[in-house]
Chain A
């Protein structure tokens, strides 16, 4: 029989309109499982950094010689605030307030963009001061760790802008609010990784 009744779109716990064993949604659970694995990824990069942070090679440039802690502090603050705007976006779409959702999504993406711009500025400054990717073990480890993080942030920005565009085109209804939440989870995780990096790389001498 080819006739079907198209149900009113319902996003229940698994995002499909079907129940799940635990009552939690499949995509959301999937994202948390994925974030569990990301802990191992960033853990490996962080450990490599910690191991090599004092191996500054012939160039002799250590982190403290080039880090601009005030500058990075502002960057960190920016990223932290982007988590706030993210959570406000989730809250807004939950209420069905799509204009606000877009505002906060855009704000989050922009704050993320500011963060990335800050990173790029920092990296070019380091490079000019003699700390390139291949200069020493410390530098390789530093740039790989922060680079990976930066790529993750950039992917997040792309996702945020995609959500923004979908919303603008009317294709992100309240029923699909969970997708914003799931992108939010990814975004907060990336923020958490930066919380770790800021302390372990910049603040701990």
Chain B
């Protein structure tokens, strides 16, 4: 019975911890990631004045930056990287289903032509 044990910390989940050096990012690490996100956002915004220069590279670059930011928030701020795999699976299931289904719909509307 666990009644007399010390309350467990929420982030000490008995899930897999496959991270690098520590159990769980420190506040400093979070701030660092926020800085990275800010830099990425700045890069995104920088494409705006430089749209013509980038030409057909514009959209791929923006999409890549978008995905990287997405990943950083999901993996670190939402703690997916350190939590049980289960969470990642259900989220990715939703994400993948949405991406595939809606890309197909747009394709039937000849959106990518």
Residues of chain A at the chain B interface (Cβ within 8 Å): 5, 7-13, 17, 22-25, 28-29, 32-33, 35-40, 42-44, 46-47, 50-51, 69-70, 73, 76-77, 80-81, 83-84, 86-88, 90-91, 94, 174-175, 177-178, 181, 184-185, 188-189, 191-192, 195-196, 198-200, 203-205
- Complex CA gap A203/B62 in Å reads 8
- The contact string, 1 if C-beta is below 8 Å from chain A, for chain B 75-101, is 011110001101100110111011101
CB-CB under 8 A from B2, the residues of chain A are 10, 12, 17
CB-CB under 8 A from B73, the residues of chain A are 83, 188, 191-192, 195
- Interface contacts (Cβ under 8 Å), in number, total 162
- Complex CA gap A46/B11 in Å reads 33
Cβ–Cβ contact A43 & B10, under 8 A: no
- Complex CA gap A39/B29 in Å reads 28
- The contact string, 1 if C-beta is below 8 Å from chain A, for chain B 1-21, is 111110111110111000000
Cβ–Cβ contact B4 & A87, under 8 A: no
Cβ–Cβ contact B51 & A8, under 8 A: no
- The minimal Cβ–Cβ distance linking A65 to chain B, given in whole angstroms, is 15
Cβ–Cβ contact A40 & B8, under 8 A: no
Tell me the dominant secondary structure on chain B's binding face: helix
Cβ–Cβ contact B7 & A46, under 8 A: no
B48 at the A interface (CB under 8 A): yes
- Complex CA gap A37/B7 in Å reads 32
Which of A24, A80, A200 contacts B83 (CB under 8 A)?
Answer: A24
Cβ–Cβ contact A199 & B62, under 8 A: yes
Interface size in chain B (residues, C-beta < 8 A)? 59
CB-CB under 8 A from A38, the residues of chain B are 94
Cβ–Cβ contact A36 & B10, under 8 A: no
- The minimal Cβ–Cβ distance linking B89 to chain A, given in whole angstroms, is 9
**Seed contacts A7-B3, A28-B87; 5 additional CB < 8 Å A-B pairs:** A25-B10, A51-B106, A80-B37, A185-B78, A195-B70
- Complex CA gap A48/B70 in Å reads 21
- The minimal Cβ–Cβ distance linking B1 to chain A, given in whole angstroms, is 8
- The minimal Cβ–Cβ distance linking A174 to chain B, given in whole angstroms, is 7
Residues A47 and B106 in contact in the complex (CB < 8 Å), given A35-B91, A36-B95: yes
CB-CB under 8 A from B37, the residues of chain A are 80, 83
CB-CB under 8 A from B65, the residues of chain A are 199
- The minimal Cβ–Cβ distance linking A161 to chain B, given in whole angstroms, is 20
Cβ–Cβ contact A24 & B70, under 8 A: no
CB-CB under 8 A from A32, the residues of chain B are 86-87, 90-91
Cβ–Cβ contact B102 & A22, under 8 A: no
Which of A8, A87, A94 contacts B30 (CB under 8 A)?
Answer: A87
- The minimal Cβ–Cβ distance linking B35 to chain A, given in whole angstroms, is 9
- The minimal Cβ–Cβ distance linking B17 to chain A, given in whole angstroms, is 12
- Complex CA gap A50/B59 in Å reads 14
Cβ–Cβ contact A50 & B106, under 8 A: yes
- Complex CA gap A183/B26 in Å reads 20
Instruction: Give the residue among B58, B74, B94 with the most A Cβ atoms within 10 A.
Output: B94
